[in-house]
């Protein structure tokens, strides 16, 4: 028992990998600029959702870091579907725009799927358009959704073997769960997708060498869900506002997290219970500082790829 309590999972930090990807992107952007091509990303933010505003701001900042031009379009919360569609169609026909992202979620009066399907698939750097989803499912993707792509980069660059591994994805969203399962399958992992209707979930997830949690439920994946020595990828981003919960979830890190709650009213946690999982897993991604940084880096990579494809390079 003592040996188990002393074990601590190695943290798989996202920043070193994200920085490497952004450096590679910046070098590619520099080569394109020498050929007269300047990649450009248009980011559309509808409404005043605080988290969405932070995400868009981070993406615009990353563009500046790697040399991609960016255009941020702010629309009021009252924007209608027709008004947003008009913006998307303008960007579709603007030859100076290589990538278009419409930050989700959208206000309730707008149907996300209608907007996603209106984006030119060749500029769909989020890779949510049905055409790009189909390419990915068939095994020859044009773009890969940024979070799943970042997860694969994280595994590869940390030399975590995918081929032959048992991989379990908890969550079946079109944004993370399904595409990352497809990517893992294409890399010859044996893949299980779990969800809210899965029976005996901990027994299923305990078979996984690579466990990916993407369900949006704070600290849901406890130690009893994890195979000893497994790699655990935490995609969730949730808020903890209660200091007592922070003490329960974060163990030795609790004091720092409680200070964050006192300062700004919350601290972030993923879908994984860090204090429990760290006693079982071999590796774990932190929240924050893990997968989210890779999502932004892969958006930069997709934007450059769009610029090259659209010009036949």
Task: Answer yes or no: are the C-beta atoms of 141 and 135 closer than 8 Å.
Answer: yes
- Burial category of 135 from C-beta neighbours within 10 Å (exposed 0-12, middle 13-18, buried 19 and up): middle
Which of the residues 22, 103, 234, 301 is marked catalytic? 103
Contact 15, 294 (CB under 8 A): no
Whether residue 61 contacts residue 300, with contact meaning beta carbons closer than 8 Å, is answered with: no
> Active site includes 186?
no
Q: Are 87 and 110 in contact (CB under 8 A)?
A: no
Residue 40: C-alpha distances to residues 195, 215, 292 (Å)? 37, 32, 22
Query: For the packed helices 177-186 and 130-138, what is the interaxial angle rounded to 10 degrees?
Result: 30
Catalytic residue among 59, 123, 227, 301: 59
SS (H, E, C) 30-43: HHHHHCCCCCEEEE
Whether the CB-CB separation of 81 and 110 falls below 8 Å is answered with yes
Residues 6+ away with beta carbon under 8 Å from 181:
167, 169, 191, 193
- In the residue annotation, 126 being an active-site residue is answered as yes
The residue to which tokens 């040996």 are assigned: 3
Examine the residue annotation and report whether 22 is marked as an active-site residue of this protein: no
The catalytic residue among 98, 120, 124, 126 is 126
4-268-169 Cα angle (round to 5): 65
Give the end-to-end CA distance of the chain in Å, rounded to a whole number: 58
Strands 231-234 and 69-75 come out as unpaired
Query: Which residues are catalytic, by number?
Result: 59, 103, 126
């Amino acid at each position: 028992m003592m040996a188990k309590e002393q074990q601590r999972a190695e943290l798989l930090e996202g920043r070193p990998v994200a920085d490497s990807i952004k450096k590679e992107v910046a070098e590619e952007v520099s080569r394109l600029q020498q050929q007269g091509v300047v990649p450009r990303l248009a980011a559309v933010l509808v409404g005043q959702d605080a988290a969405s505003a932070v995400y868009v701001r981070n993406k615009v900042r990353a563009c500046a870091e790697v040399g991609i031009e960016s255009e941020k379009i702010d629309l009021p919360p009252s924007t209608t579907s027709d008004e947003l569609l008009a913006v998307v169609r303008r960007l579709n026909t603007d030859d100076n725009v290589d990538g278009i992202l419409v930050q989700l979620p959208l206000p309730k009066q707008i149907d996300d799927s209608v907007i996603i399907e209106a984006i030119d698939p060749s500029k769909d750097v989020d890779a949510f358009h049905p055409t790009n989803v189909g390419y990915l499912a068939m095994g020859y993707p044009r773009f890969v959704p940024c979070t799943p792509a970042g997860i694969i980069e994280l595994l590869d660059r940390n030399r975590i073997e995918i081929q032959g591994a048992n991989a379990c994805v908890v969550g079946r969203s079109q944004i993370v769960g399904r595409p990352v399962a497809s990517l893992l399958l294409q890399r010859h992992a044996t893949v299980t997708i779990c969800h809210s209707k899965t029976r005996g979930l901990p027994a299923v997830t305990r078979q996984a060498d690579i466990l990916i949690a993407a369900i949006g439920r704070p600290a849901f994946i406890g130690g009893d869900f994890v195979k000893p020595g497994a790699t655990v990828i935490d995609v969730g981003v949730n808020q903890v506002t209660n200091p007592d919960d922070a003490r329960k979830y974060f163990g030795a890190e609790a004091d720092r997290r409680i200070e964050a709650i006192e300062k700004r009213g919350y601290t972030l946690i993923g879908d994984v219970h860090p204090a429990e999982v760290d006693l079982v897993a071999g590796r774990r991604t932190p929240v924050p500082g893990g997968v989210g940084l890779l999502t932004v880096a892969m958006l930069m990579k997709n934007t450059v790829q769009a610029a090259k494809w659209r010009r036949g390079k």
